[in-house]
Structure 1
Amino acid sequence: MGHLEYDWELPIVRSRLLDLAKSFTLVRYDARGNGLSDWDVGDVSFDAWVRDMETVVDAAGLDRFPLLGLSQGCAISIAYAARHPDRVSRLILYGGFATGFNKRKNVTAAERDRWVAMKTLMKLGWGSDDATFRQLFTSSMMPTATREQADVFNEMQRLSASPDCAVRYLDAVSDFDVRHLLPQVQAPTLVMHVRDDLRVPIGLGRELAAGIPNARFVALPGKNHIMLPQDPGVAQFSNELKAFVKATG
Protein backbone atom coordinates (compact mmCIF):
# COMPACT_ATOMS: atom_id res chain seq x y z
CA MET A 1 0.00 0.00 0.00
CA GLY A 2 1.44 3.37 -0.98
CA HIS A 3 1.69 6.07 1.63
CA LEU A 4 2.80 9.64 0.96
CA GLU A 5 4.08 11.88 3.74
CA TYR A 6 4.50 15.64 3.40
CA ASP A 7 6.96 16.82 6.02
CA TRP A 8 10.37 18.27 6.67
CA GLU A 9 12.27 15.70 8.62
CA LEU A 10 15.36 15.15 10.76
CA PRO A 11 17.37 12.23 12.14
CA ILE A 12 15.58 12.43 15.50
CA VAL A 13 12.36 10.98 14.04
CA ARG A 14 14.01 8.35 11.86
CA SER A 15 12.40 5.71 14.08
CA ARG A 16 8.93 6.92 13.11
CA LEU A 17 9.74 6.68 9.41
CA LEU A 18 11.17 3.20 9.85
CA ASP A 19 8.07 2.18 11.79
CA LEU A 20 5.79 3.33 8.96
CA ALA A 21 7.99 1.72 6.32
CA LYS A 22 7.53 -1.67 8.01
CA SER A 23 3.82 -1.57 7.22
CA PHE A 24 3.59 0.58 4.10
CA THR A 25 5.49 1.73 1.06
CA LEU A 26 6.50 5.15 2.34
CA VAL A 27 7.25 8.10 0.07
CA ARG A 28 8.42 11.37 1.64
CA TYR A 29 10.09 14.45 0.23
CA ASP A 30 11.56 17.79 1.23
CA ALA A 31 9.46 20.75 0.18
CA ARG A 32 11.06 23.38 -2.01
CA GLY A 33 13.19 25.81 -0.04
CA ASN A 34 14.64 23.33 2.44
CA GLY A 35 16.45 20.05 2.90
CA LEU A 36 17.61 18.29 -0.25
CA SER A 37 15.18 20.23 -2.45
CA ASP A 38 16.24 23.44 -4.17
CA TRP A 39 16.76 26.40 -1.85
CA ASP A 40 17.27 29.07 -4.51
CA VAL A 41 13.76 29.11 -5.97
CA GLY A 42 11.75 32.10 -7.08
CA ASP A 43 8.38 30.92 -5.85
CA VAL A 44 8.05 29.88 -2.21
CA SER A 45 4.30 29.80 -1.72
CA PHE A 46 1.34 27.66 -0.78
CA ASP A 47 0.29 27.08 -4.41
CA ALA A 48 3.85 26.14 -5.39
CA TRP A 49 4.02 23.57 -2.59
CA VAL A 50 0.71 22.04 -3.67
CA ARG A 51 1.93 21.81 -7.27
CA ASP A 52 5.11 20.15 -6.02
CA MET A 53 3.06 17.52 -4.21
CA GLU A 54 1.13 16.84 -7.39
CA THR A 55 4.43 16.39 -9.24
CA VAL A 56 5.82 14.03 -6.59
CA VAL A 57 2.66 11.90 -6.61
CA ASP A 58 2.74 11.56 -10.39
CA ALA A 59 6.48 10.87 -10.49
CA ALA A 60 6.10 8.17 -7.83
CA GLY A 61 3.35 6.49 -9.83
CA LEU A 62 0.85 6.66 -6.98
CA ASP A 63 -2.74 6.06 -8.01
CA ARG A 64 -4.80 6.04 -4.82
CA PHE A 65 -3.04 6.31 -1.47
CA PRO A 66 -3.29 7.44 2.17
CA LEU A 67 -1.74 10.85 2.77
CA LEU A 68 -0.03 11.96 5.98
CA GLY A 69 0.59 15.64 6.63
CA LEU A 70 2.62 16.98 9.55
CA SER A 71 2.56 20.53 10.93
CA GLN A 72 2.48 23.03 8.02
CA GLY A 73 2.26 20.02 5.70
CA CYS A 74 -1.32 19.51 6.89
CA ALA A 75 -2.56 22.54 4.96
CA ILE A 76 -0.78 21.35 1.80
CA SER A 77 -2.24 17.87 2.26
CA ILE A 78 -5.74 19.29 2.77
CA ALA A 79 -5.47 21.27 -0.46
CA TYR A 80 -4.26 18.21 -2.35
CA ALA A 81 -7.05 16.03 -0.95
CA ALA A 82 -9.68 18.64 -1.84
CA ARG A 83 -8.36 18.96 -5.40
CA HIS A 84 -7.86 15.23 -5.95
CA PRO A 85 -10.56 13.30 -4.07
CA ASP A 86 -10.05 10.34 -6.40
CA ARG A 87 -6.39 9.98 -5.37
CA VAL A 88 -6.52 10.24 -1.57
CA SER A 89 -7.99 7.16 0.12
CA ARG A 90 -7.43 8.41 3.68
CA LEU A 91 -6.05 11.60 5.17
CA ILE A 92 -4.02 11.73 8.39
CA LEU A 93 -3.11 15.12 9.88
CA TYR A 94 -0.75 15.64 12.81
CA GLY A 95 0.09 18.91 14.58
CA GLY A 96 -1.61 20.96 11.90
CA PHE A 97 -3.52 24.20 11.46
CA ALA A 98 -5.88 25.73 8.91
CA THR A 99 -4.61 29.29 9.37
CA GLY A 100 -1.08 30.61 9.60
CA PHE A 101 -0.09 33.23 12.16
CA ASN A 102 -1.05 36.22 9.99
CA LYS A 103 -4.57 34.86 9.42
CA ARG A 104 -5.46 34.03 13.01
CA LYS A 105 -7.93 36.03 15.04
CA ASN A 106 -7.28 37.32 18.55
CA VAL A 107 -3.51 37.65 18.07
CA THR A 108 -2.26 40.21 20.58
CA ALA A 109 0.06 43.12 19.85
CA ALA A 110 2.72 41.50 22.05
CA GLU A 111 2.46 38.26 20.07
CA ARG A 112 2.91 40.17 16.81
CA ASP A 113 5.95 41.97 18.23
CA ARG A 114 7.49 38.62 19.20
CA TRP A 115 6.77 37.30 15.70
CA VAL A 116 8.58 40.22 14.07
CA ALA A 117 11.48 39.82 16.49
CA MET A 118 11.73 36.11 15.74
CA LYS A 119 11.94 36.80 11.99
CA THR A 120 14.71 39.33 12.58
CA LEU A 121 16.65 36.89 14.75
CA MET A 122 16.09 34.17 12.17
CA LYS A 123 17.59 36.33 9.44
CA LEU A 124 20.61 37.19 11.60
CA GLY A 125 21.15 33.95 13.48
CA TRP A 126 19.88 31.00 11.47
CA GLY A 127 23.13 30.30 9.65
CA SER A 128 25.48 31.19 12.49
CA ASP A 129 27.84 28.69 14.07
CA ASP A 130 26.46 29.93 17.39
CA ALA A 131 23.21 28.02 17.98
CA THR A 132 21.81 30.45 20.57
CA PHE A 133 18.94 31.67 18.40
CA ARG A 134 18.17 28.28 16.95
CA GLN A 135 17.91 26.91 20.48
CA LEU A 136 15.05 29.34 21.15
CA PHE A 137 13.24 27.89 18.15
CA THR A 138 14.11 24.34 19.18
CA SER A 139 12.77 24.89 22.69
CA SER A 140 9.37 25.84 21.30
CA MET A 141 9.32 22.84 18.96
CA MET A 142 10.38 20.17 21.44
CA PRO A 143 10.72 21.49 25.00
CA THR A 144 11.39 18.07 26.54
CA ALA A 145 14.21 17.13 24.17
CA THR A 146 17.44 15.82 25.62
CA ARG A 147 20.56 17.93 25.18
CA GLU A 148 21.75 15.59 22.43
CA GLN A 149 18.42 15.79 20.59
CA ALA A 150 18.37 19.58 20.85
CA ASP A 151 21.93 19.81 19.53
CA VAL A 152 21.03 17.60 16.56
CA PHE A 153 17.96 19.72 15.78
CA ASN A 154 19.91 22.97 16.11
CA GLU A 155 22.47 21.74 13.60
CA MET A 156 19.77 20.35 11.30
CA GLN A 157 18.20 23.79 11.12
CA ARG A 158 21.48 25.35 10.01
CA LEU A 159 22.00 22.69 7.34
CA SER A 160 18.43 22.50 6.05
CA ALA A 161 17.97 26.05 4.79
CA SER A 162 19.72 29.36 4.31
CA PRO A 163 18.66 32.27 6.56
CA ASP A 164 16.89 33.88 3.59
CA CYS A 165 15.06 30.66 2.74
CA ALA A 166 14.04 30.15 6.36
CA VAL A 167 12.48 33.61 6.55
CA ARG A 168 10.71 33.21 3.21
CA TYR A 169 9.41 29.82 4.35
CA LEU A 170 8.09 31.29 7.61
CA ASP A 171 6.44 34.20 5.78
CA ALA A 172 4.67 31.85 3.37
CA VAL A 173 3.44 29.53 6.10
CA SER A 174 2.18 32.47 8.18
CA ASP A 175 -0.21 33.37 5.33
CA PHE A 176 -1.76 29.90 5.03
CA ASP A 177 -5.56 29.78 5.10
CA VAL A 178 -7.33 26.59 4.06
CA ARG A 179 -10.53 27.05 6.06
CA HIS A 180 -12.56 27.20 2.86
CA LEU A 181 -11.13 23.87 1.73
CA LEU A 182 -11.98 21.89 4.87
CA PRO A 183 -15.61 21.10 3.87
CA GLN A 184 -14.36 19.91 0.46
CA VAL A 185 -12.27 17.05 1.86
CA GLN A 186 -14.03 13.78 1.00
CA ALA A 187 -11.47 11.27 2.28
CA PRO A 188 -11.95 9.71 5.72
CA THR A 189 -9.78 11.87 7.96
CA LEU A 190 -7.92 11.33 11.22
CA VAL A 191 -6.60 14.41 13.03
CA MET A 192 -4.05 13.93 15.83
CA HIS A 193 -2.51 16.60 18.02
CA VAL A 194 -0.40 16.69 21.17
CA ARG A 195 -2.35 18.16 24.08
CA ASP A 196 0.29 20.59 25.33
CA ASP A 197 1.95 21.44 22.02
CA LEU A 198 3.80 24.72 22.62
CA ARG A 199 4.33 25.53 18.96
CA VAL A 200 0.86 24.83 17.54
CA PRO A 201 -1.88 24.92 20.20
CA ILE A 202 -4.24 21.97 20.25
CA GLY A 203 -7.19 24.26 19.57
CA LEU A 204 -5.95 24.70 16.00
CA GLY A 205 -6.00 20.93 15.54
CA ARG A 206 -9.53 20.74 16.89
CA GLU A 207 -10.56 23.40 14.37
CA LEU A 208 -9.24 21.23 11.55
CA ALA A 209 -11.24 18.25 12.74
CA ALA A 210 -14.38 20.33 13.23
CA GLY A 211 -14.19 21.69 9.69
CA ILE A 212 -13.60 18.41 7.83
CA PRO A 213 -16.74 16.29 7.40
CA ASN A 214 -16.80 13.29 9.76
CA ALA A 215 -13.16 13.74 10.78
CA ARG A 216 -12.02 11.94 13.93
CA PHE A 217 -9.88 13.81 16.45
CA VAL A 218 -7.36 12.16 18.78
CA ALA A 219 -5.52 14.08 21.50
CA LEU A 220 -2.11 12.64 22.32
CA PRO A 221 -0.18 13.08 25.58
CA GLY A 222 2.96 15.19 25.48
CA LYS A 223 4.39 18.67 24.89
CA ASN A 224 6.56 18.36 21.79
CA HIS A 225 5.41 19.58 18.41
CA ILE A 226 8.00 17.30 16.84
CA MET A 227 7.33 13.95 18.45
CA LEU A 228 10.43 12.33 19.92
CA PRO A 229 11.04 8.59 20.39
CA GLN A 230 10.64 8.84 24.17
CA ASP A 231 7.38 10.82 24.07
CA PRO A 232 4.33 9.30 25.79
CA GLY A 233 2.16 9.57 22.67
CA VAL A 234 4.44 7.74 20.23
CA ALA A 235 2.85 4.29 20.56
CA GLN A 236 -0.67 5.71 20.37
CA PHE A 237 0.21 7.77 17.30
CA SER A 238 1.57 4.69 15.54
CA ASN A 239 -1.33 2.45 16.53
CA GLU A 240 -4.00 4.98 15.61
CA LEU A 241 -2.40 5.71 12.24
CA LYS A 242 -1.93 2.06 11.25
CA ALA A 243 -5.41 1.02 12.34
CA PHE A 244 -6.97 3.95 10.48
CA VAL A 245 -5.09 3.31 7.24
CA LYS A 246 -5.78 -0.43 7.31
CA ALA A 247 -9.49 -0.05 8.15
CA THR A 248 -12.01 -0.85 5.44
CA GLY A 249 -15.21 0.95 4.68
Structure 2
Amino acid sequence: MTKHFTRTVRGTGPGLLLAHGGGGGVAANFGALIDDLAGTHTVVGVDYPGSGDTPRSATPLTLDRLADELVAAADAAGLARFAVLGYSLGTAVAVRTATRHPDRVTGLVLTAGFAHPNNRMRLAVDVWRALLEADRTLLARFLTLVATGERHLEARTPDELSDAVTALAEFIPAGSPEQVDLVDSVDTRAELPGIRVPTQVIAATLDLLAPPALSRELAGAIPGARLVEIDAGHLVGEEAPVEWLAAIRSFLPSVAA
Protein backbone atom coordinates (compact mmCIF):
# COMPACT_ATOMS: atom_id res chain seq x y z
CA MET A 1 0.00 0.00 0.00
CA THR A 2 1.22 3.49 -0.84
CA LYS A 3 2.20 5.26 2.39
CA HIS A 4 2.57 8.80 1.08
CA PHE A 5 0.77 10.60 -1.71
CA THR A 6 2.53 13.43 -3.53
CA ARG A 7 1.11 16.72 -2.27
CA THR A 8 0.60 20.15 -3.79
CA VAL A 9 0.36 23.04 -1.32
CA ARG A 10 0.12 26.62 -2.53
CA GLY A 11 -1.00 30.01 -1.22
CA THR A 12 -2.46 31.27 2.04
CA GLY A 13 -5.94 31.87 3.39
CA PRO A 14 -9.00 29.63 3.78
CA GLY A 15 -8.45 25.99 2.90
CA LEU A 16 -9.39 24.58 -0.49
CA LEU A 17 -8.69 20.93 -1.25
CA LEU A 18 -8.42 19.68 -4.84
CA ALA A 19 -9.61 16.16 -5.77
CA HIS A 20 -8.60 15.24 -9.32
CA GLY A 21 -10.16 12.91 -11.85
CA GLY A 22 -9.41 9.32 -12.78
CA GLY A 23 -6.43 9.01 -15.10
CA GLY A 24 -5.47 12.60 -14.30
CA GLY A 25 -3.54 14.51 -11.67
CA VAL A 26 -3.66 17.72 -9.67
CA ALA A 27 -1.60 19.75 -12.16
CA ALA A 28 -3.18 18.14 -15.22
CA ASN A 29 -6.78 18.65 -14.13
CA PHE A 30 -6.60 22.02 -12.37
CA GLY A 31 -3.69 23.65 -14.20
CA ALA A 32 -3.61 27.43 -14.14
CA LEU A 33 -6.56 27.56 -11.72
CA ILE A 34 -4.15 26.62 -8.94
CA ASP A 35 -2.16 29.84 -9.32
CA ASP A 36 -5.29 31.97 -9.29
CA LEU A 37 -6.97 30.18 -6.39
CA ALA A 38 -3.75 30.24 -4.37
CA GLY A 39 -3.96 34.03 -4.41
CA THR A 40 -6.80 33.87 -1.89
CA HIS A 41 -6.74 30.32 -0.49
CA THR A 42 -4.43 27.68 0.86
CA VAL A 43 -4.77 25.20 -1.97
CA VAL A 44 -3.96 21.57 -1.18
CA GLY A 45 -4.13 18.56 -3.47
CA VAL A 46 -2.83 15.00 -3.64
CA ASP A 47 -1.99 12.88 -6.66
CA TYR A 48 -3.69 9.50 -6.45
CA PRO A 49 -1.53 6.35 -6.61
CA GLY A 50 0.07 6.08 -10.03
CA SER A 51 -0.44 9.79 -10.86
CA GLY A 52 2.23 12.47 -10.56
CA ASP A 53 5.04 11.20 -8.35
CA THR A 54 2.81 9.01 -6.17
CA PRO A 55 3.78 5.35 -6.55
CA ARG A 56 1.23 3.01 -8.05
CA SER A 57 -0.91 1.08 -5.57
CA ALA A 58 -0.62 -2.69 -5.19
CA THR A 59 -4.19 -2.84 -3.86
CA PRO A 60 -7.53 -1.56 -5.20
CA LEU A 61 -8.29 2.09 -4.56
CA THR A 62 -11.24 3.18 -2.42
CA LEU A 63 -12.98 6.51 -1.94
CA ASP A 64 -12.34 6.24 1.79
CA ARG A 65 -8.61 5.96 1.24
CA LEU A 66 -8.44 8.89 -1.18
CA ALA A 67 -10.62 11.07 1.05
CA ASP A 68 -8.48 10.29 4.11
CA GLU A 69 -5.26 11.06 2.23
CA LEU A 70 -6.70 14.38 1.13
CA VAL A 71 -7.59 15.25 4.72
CA ALA A 72 -4.14 14.12 5.89
CA ALA A 73 -2.62 16.59 3.42
CA ALA A 74 -4.86 19.31 4.85
CA ASP A 75 -3.69 18.38 8.36
CA ALA A 76 -0.06 18.64 7.27
CA ALA A 77 -0.80 22.10 5.83
CA GLY A 78 -2.34 23.23 9.13
CA LEU A 79 -5.92 23.43 7.87
CA ALA A 80 -8.64 22.71 10.41
CA ARG A 81 -11.49 23.28 7.95
CA PHE A 82 -11.69 23.53 4.18
CA ALA A 83 -13.86 23.49 1.08
CA VAL A 84 -13.31 20.72 -1.48
CA LEU A 85 -13.19 21.21 -5.26
CA GLY A 86 -13.68 17.90 -7.03
CA TYR A 87 -13.40 17.16 -10.73
CA SER A 88 -14.83 14.02 -12.39
CA LEU A 89 -13.91 11.07 -10.11
CA GLY A 90 -12.79 13.75 -7.66
CA THR A 91 -16.43 14.73 -7.12
CA ALA A 92 -17.02 11.32 -5.52
CA VAL A 93 -13.86 11.79 -3.44
CA ALA A 94 -15.18 15.21 -2.38
CA VAL A 95 -18.56 13.80 -1.40
CA ARG A 96 -16.91 11.03 0.60
CA THR A 97 -14.68 13.59 2.30
CA ALA A 98 -17.76 15.56 3.34
CA THR A 99 -19.60 12.51 4.68
CA ARG A 100 -16.54 10.90 6.29
CA HIS A 101 -15.17 14.13 7.82
CA PRO A 102 -18.31 16.29 8.23
CA ASP A 103 -16.80 18.52 10.91
CA ARG A 104 -13.97 19.56 8.59
CA VAL A 105 -15.71 20.42 5.29
CA THR A 106 -17.23 23.88 4.76
CA GLY A 107 -18.48 23.45 1.19
CA LEU A 108 -18.24 21.46 -2.03
CA VAL A 109 -17.70 22.37 -5.68
CA LEU A 110 -18.41 19.35 -7.88
CA THR A 111 -17.40 19.66 -11.54
CA ALA A 112 -18.21 17.23 -14.39
CA GLY A 113 -19.03 14.62 -11.80
CA PHE A 114 -21.28 11.70 -11.01
CA ALA A 115 -22.75 9.83 -8.06
CA HIS A 116 -22.60 6.62 -10.06
CA PRO A 117 -21.73 5.82 -13.69
CA ASN A 118 -24.70 5.46 -16.03
CA ASN A 119 -24.73 2.98 -18.91
CA ARG A 120 -23.01 5.36 -21.34
CA MET A 121 -20.23 6.00 -18.82
CA ARG A 122 -19.86 2.30 -18.02
CA LEU A 123 -19.39 1.51 -21.71
CA ALA A 124 -16.76 4.24 -21.97
CA VAL A 125 -14.99 2.85 -18.90
CA ASP A 126 -15.02 -0.66 -20.40
CA VAL A 127 -13.34 0.62 -23.57
CA TRP A 128 -10.91 2.75 -21.51
CA ARG A 129 -9.90 -0.28 -19.43
CA ALA A 130 -9.45 -2.55 -22.47
CA LEU A 131 -7.37 -0.03 -24.42
CA LEU A 132 -5.08 0.57 -21.45
CA GLU A 133 -3.85 -2.97 -21.97
CA ALA A 134 -3.90 -2.96 -25.75
CA ASP A 135 -3.02 0.38 -27.36
CA ARG A 136 -2.29 3.63 -25.52
CA THR A 137 -2.40 5.71 -28.70
CA LEU A 138 -5.81 4.33 -29.60
CA LEU A 139 -6.88 4.99 -26.02
CA ALA A 140 -5.74 8.60 -26.38
CA ARG A 141 -7.83 8.91 -29.54
CA PHE A 142 -10.85 7.46 -27.77
CA LEU A 143 -10.50 9.72 -24.73
CA THR A 144 -10.04 12.75 -26.98
CA LEU A 145 -13.24 11.79 -28.79
CA VAL A 146 -15.41 11.38 -25.70
CA ALA A 147 -13.83 13.97 -23.41
CA THR A 148 -13.59 16.93 -25.81
CA GLY A 149 -16.56 19.14 -26.59
CA GLU A 150 -17.53 19.24 -30.25
CA ARG A 151 -16.75 22.94 -30.76
CA HIS A 152 -13.32 22.64 -29.18
CA LEU A 153 -12.57 19.42 -31.05
CA GLU A 154 -13.56 20.77 -34.47
CA ALA A 155 -11.58 23.98 -33.93
CA ARG A 156 -8.31 22.02 -34.00
CA THR A 157 -6.31 21.59 -37.17
CA PRO A 158 -5.33 18.02 -38.13
CA ASP A 159 -1.78 18.68 -36.88
CA GLU A 160 -3.03 20.10 -33.58
CA LEU A 161 -5.31 17.12 -33.10
CA SER A 162 -2.48 14.68 -33.84
CA ASP A 163 -0.18 16.49 -31.40
CA ALA A 164 -2.87 16.45 -28.70
CA VAL A 165 -3.39 12.71 -29.10
CA THR A 166 0.36 12.07 -28.95
CA ALA A 167 0.72 14.19 -25.81
CA LEU A 168 -2.19 12.41 -24.11
CA ALA A 169 -0.81 8.97 -24.98
CA GLU A 170 2.49 9.95 -23.37
CA PHE A 171 0.75 11.39 -20.28
CA ILE A 172 -1.56 8.49 -19.32
CA PRO A 173 -0.64 7.76 -15.67
CA ALA A 174 0.69 4.37 -14.65
CA GLY A 175 -2.05 4.10 -12.04
CA SER A 176 -4.88 4.48 -14.56
CA PRO A 177 -6.03 0.83 -14.26
CA GLU A 178 -6.73 1.18 -10.54
CA GLN A 179 -8.24 4.63 -10.95
CA VAL A 180 -10.52 3.48 -13.77
CA ASP A 181 -11.63 0.51 -11.69
CA LEU A 182 -12.60 2.94 -8.94
CA VAL A 183 -14.59 5.06 -11.40
CA ASP A 184 -16.55 1.95 -12.34
CA SER A 185 -17.36 1.13 -8.70
CA VAL A 186 -18.47 4.58 -7.49
CA ASP A 187 -21.89 4.86 -5.91
CA THR A 188 -22.39 7.77 -3.50
CA ARG A 189 -26.14 8.12 -4.04
CA ALA A 190 -27.05 7.11 -0.48
CA GLU A 191 -24.72 9.79 0.91
CA LEU A 192 -26.00 12.78 -1.02
CA PRO A 193 -29.17 13.59 0.97
CA GLY A 194 -27.08 13.78 4.15
CA ILE A 195 -24.74 16.50 2.89
CA ARG A 196 -25.35 19.64 4.94
CA VAL A 197 -22.77 22.06 3.57
CA PRO A 198 -23.25 24.56 0.73
CA THR A 199 -22.66 22.81 -2.58
CA GLN A 200 -22.21 24.02 -6.13
CA VAL A 201 -22.45 21.50 -8.95
CA ILE A 202 -20.93 22.48 -12.29
CA ALA A 203 -22.20 20.52 -15.30
CA ALA A 204 -20.30 20.42 -18.59
CA THR A 205 -23.13 20.49 -21.15
CA LEU A 206 -21.10 18.92 -24.00
CA ASP A 207 -19.61 16.14 -21.88
CA LEU A 208 -19.87 12.68 -23.47
CA LEU A 209 -17.75 10.93 -20.83
CA ALA A 210 -19.62 12.01 -17.68
CA PRO A 211 -22.82 13.34 -19.27
CA PRO A 212 -24.41 16.48 -17.77
CA ALA A 213 -27.43 14.47 -16.63
CA LEU A 214 -25.16 12.94 -13.99
CA SER A 215 -24.24 16.39 -12.65
CA ARG A 216 -27.90 17.35 -12.61
CA GLU A 217 -28.61 14.19 -10.63
CA LEU A 218 -25.95 15.22 -8.10
CA ALA A 219 -27.45 18.69 -7.76
CA GLY A 220 -30.95 17.30 -7.37
CA ALA A 221 -29.98 14.88 -4.60
CA ILE A 222 -27.91 17.27 -2.44
CA PRO A 223 -30.11 19.54 -0.30
CA GLY A 224 -29.87 23.16 -1.43
CA ALA A 225 -27.23 22.48 -4.10
CA ARG A 226 -26.74 25.15 -6.76
CA LEU A 227 -26.38 23.98 -10.38
CA VAL A 228 -24.25 25.89 -12.88
CA GLU A 229 -23.86 24.77 -16.50
CA ILE A 230 -20.80 25.48 -18.66
CA ASP A 231 -20.69 25.01 -22.42
CA ALA A 232 -17.76 22.57 -22.55
CA GLY A 233 -16.85 18.92 -22.81
CA HIS A 234 -15.35 16.89 -19.99
CA LEU A 235 -12.05 18.80 -20.28
CA VAL A 236 -13.52 21.88 -18.64
CA GLY A 237 -10.15 23.23 -17.51
CA GLU A 238 -8.87 23.20 -21.09
CA GLU A 239 -12.03 24.26 -22.91
CA ALA A 240 -13.54 26.82 -20.56
CA PRO A 241 -11.00 27.79 -17.88
CA VAL A 242 -12.30 31.37 -17.53
CA GLU A 243 -15.90 30.23 -17.06
CA TRP A 244 -14.90 27.45 -14.67
CA LEU A 245 -12.82 29.80 -12.54
CA ALA A 246 -15.60 32.39 -12.49
CA ALA A 247 -18.11 29.80 -11.28
CA ILE A 248 -15.76 28.65 -8.52
CA ARG A 249 -14.89 32.21 -7.51
CA SER A 250 -18.55 33.21 -7.29
CA PHE A 251 -19.19 30.41 -4.82
CA LEU A 252 -16.12 30.30 -2.55
CA PRO A 253 -16.90 33.43 -0.47
CA SER A 254 -19.97 31.67 0.90
CA VAL A 255 -17.94 28.77 2.28
CA ALA A 256 -14.80 30.42 3.69
CA ALA A 257 -13.61 28.53 6.77
- Identify whether the pair has TM-score above 0.5, normalized to the shorter chain: yes
Q: Is the 8 A contact 1:191 1:208 kept in 2?
A: yes
Could you tell me which amino acid in structure 2 is paired with residue 194 of structure 1? A
What corresponds to 1:221 in structure 2? 231
Q: Which moved more, 1:199-208 or 1:39-48?
A: 39-48
**1:97-156 CA deviation, whole Å, 9 max, x = no partner?**
0003xxx4xx38xx8666544422221223xxxx23312212211242545487357535
Q: Give the secondary structure class of the aligned counterpart of 1:23.
A: coil
What corresponds to 2:81 in structure 1? 64
What corresponds to 1:186 in structure 2? 196
Q: Which moved more, 1:201-210 or 1:14-23?
A: 14-23
Could you tell me which amino acid in structure 2 is paired with residue 137 of structure 1? L
Q: Which moved more, 1:195-204 or 1:148-157?
A: 148-157
Q: Is the 8 A contact 1:13 1:227 kept in 2?
A: no
CA distance in 1, matches of 2:113, 2:143: 18
What corresponds to 1:175 in structure 2? 185
Q: Give the secondary structure class of the aligned counterpart of 1:242.
A: helix
User: Which residue of 231, 242, 245 maps to 2:249?
Assistant: 242
Q: Is the 8 A contact 1:75 1:96 kept in 2?
A: yes
What corresponds to 2:19 in structure 1? 6
RMSD: 2.6
Q: Percent identity?
A: 27
Pairwise CA distance, 1:64: 1.0
Q: Is the 8 A contact 2:31 2:237 kept in 1?
A: no
Q: Is the 8 A contact 2:44 2:73 kept in 1?
A: no
In structure 2, stretches of 5+ residues that fail to align are: 1-13
Q: Is the 8 A contact 1:92 1:189 kept in 2?
A: yes
Residue 74 to residue 55, structure 1, CA distance change in 2 (3 Å)? same
CA distance in 1, matches of 2:148, 2:34: 18
User: Which residue of 51, 70, 95 maps to 2:68?
Assistant: 51
| Residue 21 (1) aligns with residue 21 (2) | no
Matched residues, number: 233
Residue 114 to residue 140, structure 1, CA distance change in 2 (3 Å)? closer
TM-score by length of 1: 0.82
Could you tell me which amino acid in structure 2 is paired with residue 239 of structure 1? A
Pairwise CA distance, 1:17: 2.1
Residue 177 to residue 150, structure 1, CA distance change in 2 (3 Å)? farther
What corresponds to 2:106 in structure 1? 89
**1:30-74 CA deviation, whole Å, 9 max, x = no partner?**
112322211143232233222322322222221111110110000
CA distance in 2, matches of 1:3, 1:181: 21
Residue 216 to residue 31, structure 1, CA distance change in 2 (3 Å)? same
